[in-house]
Each structure stands twice: as structure tokens, then as C-alpha cells.
Amino acid sequence: MRMFVGLDVSSFDMKVCVLDQEGDQLSAFTVSNDLPGAEVLKERLLELLADIEVDILKIGLESTSVYSFHPSMFLHNDDDLKPYGSQVFVINPKQIANFKKSYPDMNKTDEIDAFVIADYMRFGRNQMSVVKESQYMALQQLTRSRYHLTKAMTKEKQHFLQHLEYKCNTFSKEVDSSVFGHAMMELFLEKYSLDELAQLPLEDLTRFLQEKGRNRFPDPEAVATSIQKAVRSSYRLDKVVEDSIDVLLGTSIELIRSFQKQIEAIDQSITRIMKGLTQTLESIPGIGPVFAAGIIAELGQIDRFPDETKIAKYAGLYWRKHQSGRFTAEDTSLTRQGNHYLRYYLVEAANSVRRQIPEYQVFYQKKYQEVPKHQHKRALVLTARKLVRLVDALLRKNQLFTPERGVNL
């Protein structure tokens, strides 16, 4: 016999509904959303299981961020429930909302929502996501935090460049060196006025760049010359305005360096977890530790997905068909649903892979030339969809990438 448990989870409590395989309600109750409440939930389920011969126990709850995380992990890892074939599924709330539309005149209450989740589990026709193992969950928290820190740092760099344009409007045009290098950052932290930089002896500026750049400039004197050229050709600001811009530049520099330090710390933790996971994605040219960790973190155990088409759908790399009678639309848009973190890492990885593997570059160019607009975006997303097949094959078979095999693994 099969038993289905629906949980409607909030920050305060969990509404529980238990159905049998015929859809009959066996029990309904409420527990608090904390460790004591989860223990009560488990004991109530074990009491039911003691009176019924159950070989499959499916527990479902909507993906509601931190509210669903703890109960899902508690139930997934509980050894007392495993003998009954327990599986815990985290379900997209949109799927539950769409499924609920099949019930006419149903009210919106937490108890009813728990019943709908349990009934959805009973039908089980749509894709559901099995809870990941703890190491994948830990990796996911790290990679997502890294993603947000990287986005924040990129935004702060844009602010820095905007402020730099006020202070020295020809700097980016004249100076052929990274604005965000250590030496340049130290130069801006010194808060020199443009006139002070213009009058600074060239050898002093060259020496400053050499010391702060740790001798990494191939020709520090040429860089110093270009800086002074930019300074002399830029507009002058009122001292009050220039002082305020210097403060903003210094603040941006401190923020950027703080982001870089935090990202380095997260990278070290990601590396430690990745060493304990079996994965072969880094054997693909163009996929390094960052892309591999991001993809692995979002996928979790590869056997959560029956095949690569489910991975593509989970990532939102698919297009809805628009067909009516004999008409079939040729121009359809990419779905807005799916795991946007996984989609991001797959698309970025595809952009890197196409530069390293000729087969992917040829595929990208072919798709690029097929349409007159949105060429790069469309071609890149289609290349990412192609990459999904390779990722699935390598992880599922635990094989290294070889150019001869390509995607035919």
C-alpha cells in the first residue's frame, strides 16, 4: 500500500494531511514548525504506519524557502521512516496552484492546501524534486551566496566607474590597464587631485605603480605616462565636488575589496565540499570550479532526474509550443519558469565551452545565423540546452569528457 502526506508549511506551523492510495483521508492535524513539532509529526506518522502495511511513503511540501528547508531535511534524514520507503519531495508552488484549479469551488485554507498537496502526490504525474543530500544543500547555499556577492560587486564596480568618469573623464579612454587592479585602487585611495597627479614627477608615479602593483606591470612608465595624459585632458571639478567624489571612490574601493575577500572565503569552502563529491564536469574544456560547483549544487544527485529533458525543464531551458488546428507558431519565447540559478550557470558555462570546443562553436554559429534578431541570446541558450545533454551523460555515467566521444556518451 502507498501513503501520501501533504504538508502546508508556514513560519509558525505545519498543516498535515495523510491520504491512502485511494484518496481517502487517514488523518489531519497541525504541528508547530520546529524540532518538537517535527518529532510529533514523525510519531503520528509512525502510529499510522504501525496499523497499515505500507511499502511506499511519499511526503510532499511546497518549496517555501527557509520555512520548508528544515522539515524536509528532518524527514528526509529520519532513519525511523526509511524502512517504509519514505521519500520527501519539494514541489514548485505553481504546480500545486495549477493542480488546485481542477477542484471546483474549493476554498483557500491551510488545511485544504495540505490535502491538495497530498492528492497531488497521489497522482504524481508532474515533475517533483526529491530532497537533496546535505552536502549538495550546503554547496547550494555557498554557490548562491557567491552568485549574489558577484552580482553586488559588479554593480559596485559600475558605480565606481561612474564616479571615476566625474573625477577624470578620459581615464578609461587613455589608460590601457585594469581600473580595478591593486595599484590603481591604491592610487585612487590616495585621493590625489587632478592637478597633483599632473604635477607629480613621472618617476615618482612610475615607482608608486611598481610598488603597489608588485612589479606586475610590463611597462609601468608607459602606464604612468598614460595616466598623466588622461589627467591633463580631463575637465576640472570644483574642490567641494572633487572631495565628495574622492570619498565615494574610496567607499566603492573598500566595498569591492570586501566583496572580493568574502568571495575568496566562500571559494575555499566550495573547494572543500567539491573534493568530497564525485563529479566530472571540470573535465569539459571551459568549465572550471565555479561553473562546475554552481551546476552540481543546483542539480544535486543526478538520479533525481529521469533523463536530460527533465534537467532542461528544471533549468527553464525549454520552449512552450503554440499550436492550434493546422497553425504552429515558429516564434516562441523561452519559458519564464525554472531554476534561474541553474539556468545562469548552464548559459554562462555554454558561453565558455563554445570558445574551447569546436563542435559547440559550430553549433552556436549555426543557431546564430538562423534568425535576424536576438541572435546571440538565442544561440547561447540553445547551446546551453545542448550542453545539458553532455552534463547529464558525464554525471550519470561518471565519465570524463573526451573530444572523440563529445555528446555521444
Asked if pLDDT for residue 236 goes beyond 80, the answer is yes
Asked if pLDDT for residue 2 goes beyond 60, the answer is yes
Q: What are phi and psi of 72, to 5 degrees?
A: -65, -45
Among the ranges 170-179, 188-197, 333-342, 379-388, which has the highest mean pLDDT value?
A: 379-388
Q: What is the pLDDT of residue 94?
A: 84
Give the confidence band of 315 by pLDDT, cuts at 50, 70, 90.
Answer: very high
Query: Which is nearest to 167 in space by CA: 252, 225, 254, 256?
Result: 252
Beta-carbon contacts of 75 under 8 Å, excluding residues fewer than 6 positions away, are 38, 41, 42, 59, 81, 86, 88
Give the confidence band of 331 by pLDDT, cuts at 50, 70, 90.
Answer: low
Q: Helix (H, G, I), strand (E, B), or coil: what is residue 82?
A: helix
Angle between helix 182-189 and 239-275 (nearest 10): 150
CA distance 341 to 155: 18
The residues of the chain that CATH labels 1.10.287 are 138-272
Q: What is the pLDDT of residue 349?
A: 96
Give the confidence band of 217 by pLDDT, cuts at 50, 70, 90.
Answer: confident
Angle between helix 239-275 and 134-167 (nearest 10): 160
* pLDDT: which is higher, 329 or 90: 90
Asked if pLDDT for residue 219 goes beyond 80, the answer is yes
* pLDDT: which is higher, 159 or 278: 159
**Which contacts qualify for 92-95: CB closer than 8 Å, 24 or more apart?**
92/62, 92/63, 92/129, 92/337, 93/62, 93/63, 93/64, 94/337, 95/120, 95/126, 95/127, 95/128
How does pLDDT run across 108-159, given as a tens digit for each residue? 676 889 999 999 999 876 556 677 788 898 999 999 999 999 999 999 999 9
Asked if pLDDT for residue 241 goes beyond 80, the answer is yes
Q: Helix (H, G, I), strand (E, B), or coil: what is residue 184?
A: helix
Domain 2-131 carries which CATH code? 3.30.420.10
Query: Which is nearest to 355 in space by CA: 294, 283, 284?
Result: 284
Q: Write out the H or E segment, with its range, that includes residue 75.
A: helix 66-77
Grid coordinates given for 8: 502546508
Give the confidence band of 261 by pLDDT, cuts at 50, 70, 90.
Answer: very high
Asked if pLDDT for residue 402 goes beyond 50, the answer is yes
Q: What is the pLDDT of residue 108?
A: 67
CB atoms within 10 A of CB 343: 20
Q: Helix (H, G, I), strand (E, B), or coil: what is residue 62?
A: strand
Helix then strand count (H, E) for the chain reads 16, 8
Give the confidence band of 394 by pLDDT, cuts at 50, 70, 90.
Answer: very high
* pLDDT: which is higher, 103 or 174: 174
Instruction: Kindly give the residue spans of alpha helices, DSSP state H, lying in 202-336.
Output: 202-212, 220-233, 239-275, 289-299, 308-315
Q: What is the pLDDT of residue 403?
A: 79
Asked if pLDDT for residue 330 goes beyond 60, the answer is no
> Which residue is associated with the grid cell 585632458?
233
CB atoms within 10 A of CB 65: 6
Number of residues assigned to the chain: 409
Q: Facing residues of 62 across strands?
A: 91
Grid coordinates given for 81: 521512516
Q: Which of 9-18, 26-35, 92-101, 322-331 shows the lowest mean pLDDT across its residues?
A: 322-331
Q: What is the pLDDT of residue 327?
A: 39
Beta-carbon contacts of 22 under 8 Å, excluding residues fewer than 6 positions away, are none
CA distance 31 to 5: 14
Asked if pLDDT for residue 304 goes beyond 90, the answer is no
Total-model pTM? 0.80
Percent with pLDDT over 90 in the chain: 68
Domain 138-272 carries which CATH code? 1.10.287
The residues of the chain that CATH labels 3.30.420.10 are 2-131
Q: What is the pLDDT of residue 325?
A: 46
Q: Write out the H or E segment, with its range, that includes residue 43.
A: helix 35-51
Q: Helix (H, G, I), strand (E, B), or coil: what is residue 316?
A: coil
Give the confidence band of 64 by pLDDT, cuts at 50, 70, 90.
Answer: confident
Tell me the pLDDT of the chain averaged across its residues: 89
Give the confidence band of 229 by pLDDT, cuts at 50, 70, 90.
Answer: very high
Question: DSSP letter at 318?
Answer: -
